[in-house]
Amino acid sequence: MKQVLIAGVSGAIGSALASQLLATDSERIVLGLCRNSDAVRKRISDRRLRLARWDAETSTAQELGRSLAQMLGNDDCLDTIIYASGLLHDEHMFPEKRIEDFAAGAMARSFAVNCTGFGTMIRAAIPHLRHRRFKRVVAVSAKVGSIEDNRFGGWYAYRCSKAALNMLVRNLSVELPRRCRPVSCVAVHPGTTESGLSAPFHQSLASLQVHTPEDTANNLLGVIGALNEESNGRFFSWDGSELPW
Ligand SMILES: NC(=O)c1ccc[n+]([C@@H]2O[C@H](COP(=O)([O-])OP(=O)(O)OC[C@H]3O[C@@H](n4cnc5c(N)ncnc54)[C@H](OP(=O)(O)O)[C@@H]3O)[C@@H](O)[C@H]2O)c1
């Protein structure tokens, strides 16, 4: 993992991933996509972190393609891509408890950030994946996006958009090996992690194991580091166990 692209590098999990990747290999370059690069720079000052502005709801693949070319410069190749952007709630939306809470706007925004952004990013990154080294393409999904595992209902927009993200991963796991072998494209569940995204639910999550972002980054990098061509097209939990789609 020498040239790593992370979308959502401002988030709790994204920034912990970037910090650990930079700390564990002095030759590694991390390209980070975020909406506010100043905020990221305050947390990670390492010059091997190159940042570009990107908003999953508005940025196009063409704009992102130009940013990637600029950030990569002569390095030109990406060997690891991690999509760690995600939206569960903000001042305009909150996870639905029942169908009366269902709102088209929340569905559209959740799809844009939790699913479409990943597709846009891979579309823009394809020219940088055509090399012979092993590539890892990883979408940070969520267990609640598993259709088979859904026994509680609710959280319509988040669940549906993560299930769609999972389908995008499966689709790419068919196409990418044809175009840029050797590659492994997977979805990962990070485990419940302290972050702005999970903050409103900490009380209801009290019975669950809640990880720090640093522990989650460590767990995910263990899973990502162990990927090989056999793991292509699978959905892994933070401890390396496999989840049903
Ligand atoms: N925390 C958990 O317990 C948990 C559990 C399961 C899955 N996950 C998944 O893990 C991933 C990371 O979540 P987290 O816990 O680190 O949450 P977080 O700290 O809230 O980070 C979310 C990230 O998504 C970015 N984002 C939101 N809207 C965006 C947009 N329109 N365009 C581009 N980026 C946008 C945020 O950027 P800004 O800083 O600009 O807002 C931030 O970088 C998400 O996919 C989440 O669904 C988390």
| Chain segment 163-185, per-residue pLDDT in tens | 999 999 999 999 999 999 999 99
Q: Is the CB of 233 under 6 A from ligand 1?
A: no
Q: Is the CB of 161 under 6 A from ligand 1?
A: no
- As for how many domains the chain has, the answer is 1
Residue of 23 and 74 predicted with greater confidence:
23
Q: Is the CB of 240 under 6 A from ligand 1?
A: no
pLDDT digits (tens, 9 = 90+) for 216-231: 999 999 999 999 999 9
Kindly indicate the confidence band of residue 73, based on its pLDDT and cuts at 50, 70 and 90. confident
CA-nearest residue, atom 46 of ligand 1: 86
Kindly indicate the confidence band of residue 69, based on its pLDDT and cuts at 50, 70 and 90. very high
175 domain residue, yes or no: yes
Distance between Cα 132 and ligand 1 center (Å): 31
**pLDDT exceeds 80 at position 208:** no
Question: Which pLDDT score, from 0 to 100, does residue 23 have?
Answer: 97
189 domain residue, yes or no: yes
Determine the average pLDDT of the residues in 56-81: 94
List the domain range (segments joined by +) for residue 158.
3-237
Question: Which pLDDT score, from 0 to 100, does residue 204 have?
Answer: 74
Q: Indicate the average pLDDT of the chain.
A: 96
pLDDT digits (tens, 9 = 90+) for 87-134: 999 999 999 999 999 999 999 999 999 999 999 999 999 999 999 999
245 domain residue, yes or no: no
**pLDDT exceeds 80 at position 206:** no
What ligand 1 atom has the least distance to the C-alpha of 213?
16
242 domain residue, yes or no: no
CATH code of 204's domain: 3.40.50.720
Question: Which pLDDT score, from 0 to 100, does residue 88 have?
Answer: 98
76 domain residue, yes or no: yes
Q: Which two tokens stand for residue 180?
A: 């840029």
Determine the average pLDDT of the residues in 65-85: 93
